[in-house]
Structure 1
Amino acid sequence: MGTRGSSVGALRGSASRGLTVGVEEEFLLLDHADGRPALRAPEILALLGDHPQVQPELMRYQLETVTGVCTDLEQVREELVRHRRLVAAAAAELGCHLVASGIAPQSGPGLSAVTADARYQELAARHGSLVARSGTCGLHVHVGVPARELGVHVLAGLRPYLPTLLALSANSPIAAGRDTGWASRRYLEWSRWPSARPPGAWRSAADYDAAVRRTISSGRAMDERSVYFHARLSPRYPTVEVRIMDTCLSADDTVAVAAFVRALAGLAMGELWDGVPTRRRSGRRINAELAHAARDGLDASAVDPYSGRSSPHRTLLEALLNRLPDADPVARPLGVLMTRGTGADRQRALWSRAATPGVFARLLADATLDRTITPTVAGDSGRTRSGSPFPRSSPPRRITPAR
């Protein structure tokens, strides 16, 4: 990063008092009867009265929910749970499920499903073949940064851990009616976009801005919002926005990933304050590790940026926790996720139980609201046990947005 002088040093106090976090989750709508993508998003939005924290997405079988600016992880979880339950109830009114999966289990209808929004329609006109294969769902975690110069340094610190974040969040093994063999099939589809790549190790915000301008001027992106770096400076908020992750199967999974992202950002800031040089990693190496993580999840290997040794992502996570000054807020939710298995692990267990695509969609919808937990530890029989904090009540007939 370019400047380590007084302007950066003055930020240390404010950053060390705690980092804010915000979360955007993208969801699928699947038909109750056959589990196919259901083009009901506009009706759900109308039913919710244009709720400010529920938004349209690229395809009419997708929706996005957004949290506010949160100061602690419990606040994040409360908002995630509230939004999931609210939108799931609205979807049920219209004969479809809300499902948290990185990709639809059955193929969508292509360009005919694009949302009637000027920007989305322009994307479809420019990148028709890519948009036709889109409709993937990601998790975007925003971490507040007090200055863009600091944000560029955080991006550099995050680069080596992008494959681990993908492995941890992988939640899209089932597509086109079959197990694809990938933990994150979404990554394979998403990475086809010409601007979907790891952030560079830029030295300054000016260098970052120049890279964005080159991406747009070359035609690889339509505008700043469609510069799809796997982690970027948000074009709308004073945040670092990490975008590599699949949308997570449960709200608790999302909290675990958000906690990890925030911890990585804090670690990058702390190392800047301490004068630790940024660890270099080539874009080619990161892309190779991302592909491996997308295929094999946490069993894939990557190079530890500290030791230089190649280890499975499970081991890298344990090593990183030992480096955090306050690991407890990260270790607890990560421990739950690792015990239950990733979204990809649990999707495959549900897929093996489902007699039809419609049943699979229902099981995914239950898992999205954490109504069921399917253990995936070695030797488990695949039986389901109740672990839900949510009652098994029918959705309300009238949808009232939670404020």
Structure 2
Amino acid sequence: MVSESPSRRSAFAELSHAELASLVPELLLSGQLIDRSGMAHSIKAFGREGMAAVAIEEWQVASPVYTRRMQRALNFTGDDVVTIFKGLQLDIGAPPQFMDFRFRVDDPRHGEFWLDHCGALADVEPMGEDYVRSMCHDIEDPTFDATALATNPHARVRPIHRPPRVPADRHPVCAWTVVIDPAHEPPPIPPNADIVAESAAARVELDPIDPDDPGRPDYSGPLLSDLRFTDFSRAALIRMADEVCLQHHLLALGFVIAIRSRTDAASATEIVRKQFTGIAGLTSERLRDALGLGRDEAALARVLALHPAWNPLRYTGVRVETGDSEVALRLPKASGAIADGVWPTVVDADHLAPLEAMARGVDPHYVAEVAADTDDELVVRFRLGDTAFRESGEVAITRFSTGADFRFTDRGIPLPLTVV
């Protein structure tokens, strides 16, 4: 039985409204954890300063592209502070609650945000003040501006205070102003921005949201203190899920470009494969738990079908098949993802580590085997073995993040944020 069509339908269309509302924040958090996986290997290859440079480059080129995509999809295009803040609420750089952004709007051109909790800071503080400064100063300054300029090129994001925290338990952990002023000189366009802007991921067309589906069809209207995903329509959540998966791929593309500019092709592929392996395994585990799935073949098939690495289907063309107590993953050798050179390109018949990690995030007993390797596709079959495999080092590194065990909570009815 084929579990989804690779050409027209979203894999997320198989889910109920409740499942989608649980899954979207999980996908946002998974996108944040991509860097928990990739940056560890960047530090090893290039040192702390090189890692920071890679992070700056990947977010600078990716976030403006996916921010504008989400604005169009959810119908909140504009050029003011409210539009910037709405974009942050649907950005893998700011997953809800884990990166607990709070907002204040003074007028359309002035506002503030602060973080009551920062999961990224919780991950980095144990590494020492130099790493905190790399993240909260070196990386945040140019990347916050890059995200804001997707809405208005004259927007500037500047700190009120930020870590290292003094005192050590200071709350909120940081606070920032956002000011839009025509006198602000737009920052220069970063190198390689055109590659990402013209990528297949940037240009893939997804189905519009059905406005007649029950629930909120978009994010027009006031800025809300939190997004309660159950308030959105099923159609809106399906589109959100696919857009968030594209955010993963666009960030991965930015990472690939930054890594390849710093090392030879073989070393770059190895780093990207390790990044993919780490996030693939942890994401499978969290998807399994979020949907209340078991560990059998049906659970694995569902996790594979919904994994952000293989979505949206119009971008990856991946198929998942089940039958005879086995699950098969069909990876085409021609797709938008292959053309962009992102995660599917580092998987081949001799390099199945990301797929093994993905399956073992559901159950550590899964074995991955090549069933077919043709000019058109790679087919990998999964079956339950007798022996549990140890967690890979790449997944263990990613699990270092507090996001690995993070749990979302119901915060009740969100409040509209009006001008102070």
Q: What's the TM-score once normalised by structure 1's chain length?
A: 0.34
- Structure with the higher fraction of residues in helix conformation: 2
Q: More relative contact order in 1 or in 2 (CA 8 Å, sep 6+)?
A: 2
Q: What's the TM-score once normalised by structure 2's chain length?
A: 0.33
